[in-house]
Copies of this chain bind each other. A is one copy, B any other.
Amino acid sequence: MKTLLLTGFEPFLQLTVNPTMKIVEELNGLEINGHRIVGKILPVDFRASGKELLQLLEAEKPDVHISLGLAAGRYKITPERVAINVQDGDVDNKGNRPVDEVIQANGEPGYFSTLPIRKMVEKLIQNGFPAEVSNTAGTYLCNNVMYEALHYAQKSNNKLISGFIHIPASHELAIAHGKIPSWSHEDLKNSIITCIGALEHHDN
């Protein structure tokens, strides 16, 4: 049995719901494809989210790490290809608003996901879920935690498999906040289960 650290975010800014939070809470503790899921919720805070994720990686010592984020406006499941060494964007829940800052002064410009993103996309499509590889995780919190985890994996030279998956809004979020494409919570959750099913299987 492998350990998979799966994270979601608390609601962003003025939104009242974050579909990633609900998925993570429901999958927490389950065993899927030979992986025991440890589900955790990260804060929407440039100063804290990366730090909390690194503490979780140290504490849980997972074999695999997947962070989930909401991409309002997207209408496919999009495993991210790359994280870049930039933080920039809208204000977070604590009032931080970085402009063109580096995340890690000694980090590489970018790190590629070590998840099997192409296999995830193929498996999602086979299971009836529109999906494609995304080439940008943005420069907001999502890129930030993806970058921190991959930087940690590379610098600690460990075996951690790590990456990020963006998901569409849920119907619930679209009803509450307006003109954005959305999927049902069931579709979103089953998509993530499908992604976990694309990881290498381990029997013991």
CB-CB contacts below 8 Å: A167-204 with B: 171-172, 174-175, 180-184, 186-187
CA distance A34 to B52 in the complex (A): 49
Query: Which B residues are in CB contact (< 8 Å) with A171?
Result: 128-130, 187
Chain A interface size, under 10 / 10 to 19 / 20 to 34 / 35 or more: 35 or more
Query: Which B residues are in CB contact (< 8 Å) with A84?
Result: 81-82, 110, 135
| Contact A135/B86 with A128-B171, A130-B175, A174-B130 known, Cβ cut-off 8 Å | yes
CA distance A56 to B191 in the complex (A): 41
Task: Decide yes or no whether A104 CB sits under 8 A from chain B.
Answer: no
CB-contact partner of A109 in B76, B110, B138, B183, under 8 A? B110
CA distance A111 to B109 in the complex (A): 6
State the Cβ distance, A135 to closest chain B Cβ, in Å. 5
Task: Decide yes or no whether A118 CB sits under 8 A from chain B.
Answer: yes
Task: Decide yes or no whether A136 CB sits under 8 A from chain B.
Answer: yes
Query: Which B residues are in CB contact (< 8 Å) with A86?
Result: 81-82, 135
**Interface set of A (CB-CB < 8 Å, partner B):** 75-76, 81-82, 84, 86, 88, 99-100, 108-112, 118, 125, 128-130, 133, 135-136, 138-139, 143, 171-172, 174-175, 180-184, 186-187
14 A-B pairs (CB sep. < 8 Å): A75-B174, A76-B174, A81-B84, A81-B86, A82-B84, A84-B135, A88-B133, A108-B110, A128-B171, A129-B171, A135-B136, A135-B143, A183-B184, A184-B187
